[in-house]
């Protein structure tokens, strides 16, 4: 490579997130504005191995801003984890004349991007995951829409739980992080929220909170469980054994990934996509585009993968203070 980037590839990898299409659109249209060509790589890193691509112009991304999912499809690739697979991907880049890649996804996507960059292909990462667990950025594309999807579902569920005076245990996604669960739990006024970052004391965190609510006159209870904190089914069994009530379990699952991205995710994805291409056009590579205090910043991929993101436990204090009415004395 002569160092001058003329054609870039863009891919989405890992779990899909609302706003990925908006990021792809921004990458393509920004590339065009900088005089660059853009190739869409379908099905993530595996697409580079298989030479699965589509040429993209402004018209090709003209009606995807409001669409959930990803027009480029997404996949996880065990083959790309091996050097043999990455060499095939490098060969695809050489054949197609791809000088650099914008990779949209989570930490698994960025680990692949780091390995790929070490093979001589410049990369820039754009964080998109509903888990919001990327250490180098305050916000990841898809989180807000996923929260609102979960909130809408739980609000509807609460209507029937209240009508039947029941306890509901709802499991939300988030992998090994509790950001989604805690944000949603506060927003729906949950009786209790269980997150992996806080060691569970079942008597304190669940039983006593339900008892306090019941003594205050509440007859329906909402327990939100992050998938990384345990099984909603098992939590429901423990509640039944400890208190005698029979909870209903709802696992929201992949419904949280779908739907039209909201304003925050469209706007953030568009800005991140723009700055990803701008960095490449100006010669800065092997970065993750991040947000900090509302501003777009660049973090070297290797450094980004070493950074840890901690759950803001003051939000848990808020939940404990306002989530359950105290018994009348």
User: ∠ CA 78-310-184 to the nearest 5 degrees?
Assistant: 90
- How far is 193 from 11, CA to CA, in rounded Å? 35
Q: Shortest CA distance to 139 belongs to which of 19, 276, 279?
A: 19
- How far is 114 from 44, CA to CA, in rounded Å? 15
Q: Are 110 and 288 spatial neighbours (Cβ–Cβ below 8 Å)? A: yes
Sequence-distant (≥ 6) Cβ neighbours of residue 30 within 8 angstroms? 273, 274, 276, 277, 278
What tokens does 167 get?
Answer: 């306890």
- Verify whether residue 133 is a known catalytic residue: no
- How far is 3 from 6, CA to CA, in rounded Å? 9
Give the CA count within 13 Å in the CB-facing half-sphere of 328: 3
Across-strand partners of 55? 39
Sequence-distant (≥ 6) Cβ neighbours of residue 63 within 8 angstroms? none
Sequence-distant (≥ 6) Cβ neighbours of residue 173 within 8 angstroms? 130, 131, 146, 180, 227, 252, 253, 254, 256, 257
Q: Shortest CA distance to 226 belongs to which of 201, 191, 198?
A: 198
Q: Kindly name the residue from 99, 115, 131, 133 that is annotated as catalytic.
A: 131
What tokens does 257 get?
Answer: 């990934």
For 193, the enclosing helix (H) or strand (E) is strand 192-194
Q: Are 22 and 12 spatial neighbours (Cβ–Cβ below 8 Å)? A: no
Question: Could you list the active site residues?
Answer: 131
């Amino acid at each position: 490579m002569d160092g001058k980037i003329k054609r870039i590839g863009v891919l989405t990898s890992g779990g899909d997130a609302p706003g990925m299409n908006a990021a792809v659109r921004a990458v393509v249209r920004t590339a065009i504005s900088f005089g660059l060509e853009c190739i869409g790589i379908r099905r993530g890193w595996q697409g580079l191995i298989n030479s699965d691509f589509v040429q993209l112009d402004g018209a090709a991304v003209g009606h995807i801003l409001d669409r959930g999912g990803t027009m480029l499809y997404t996949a996880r690739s065990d083959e790309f984890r091996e050097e043999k697979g990455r060499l095939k991907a490098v060969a695809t880049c050489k054949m197609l004349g791809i000088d650099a890649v914008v990779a949209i996804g989570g930490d698994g996507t960025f680990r692949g991007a780091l390995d790929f960059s070490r093979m001589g292909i410049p990369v820039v990462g754009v964080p998109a995951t509903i888990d919001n667990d990327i250490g180098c950025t305050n916000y990841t594309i898809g989180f807000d829409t996923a929260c609102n999807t979960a909130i809408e579902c739980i609000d509807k569920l609460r209507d029937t739980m209240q009508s039947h005076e029941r306890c509901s245990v709802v499991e939300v996604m988030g992998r090994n992080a509790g950001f989604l669960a805690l944000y949603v739990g506060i927003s729906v006024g949950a009786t209790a929220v269980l997150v992996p970052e806080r060691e569970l004391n079942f008597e304190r965190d669940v039983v006593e909170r339900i008892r306090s609510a019941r003594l205050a006159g509440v007859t329906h209870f909402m327990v939100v469980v992050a998938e990384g904190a345990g099984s909603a089914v098992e939590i429901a069994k423990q509640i039944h054994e400890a208190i005698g009530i029979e909870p209903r379990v709802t696992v929201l699952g992949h419904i949280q990934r779908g739907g039209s991205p909201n304003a925050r995710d469209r706007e953030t994805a568009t800005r991140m996509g723009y700055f990803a291409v701008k960095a490449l056009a100006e010669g800065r590579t092997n970065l993750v585009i991040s947000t900090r205090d509302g501003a777009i910043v660049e973090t070297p991929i290797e450094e980004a993968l070493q950074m840890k993101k901690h759950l803001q436990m003051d939000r848990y204090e808020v939940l404990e203070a306002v989530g359950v009415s105290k018994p009348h004395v």
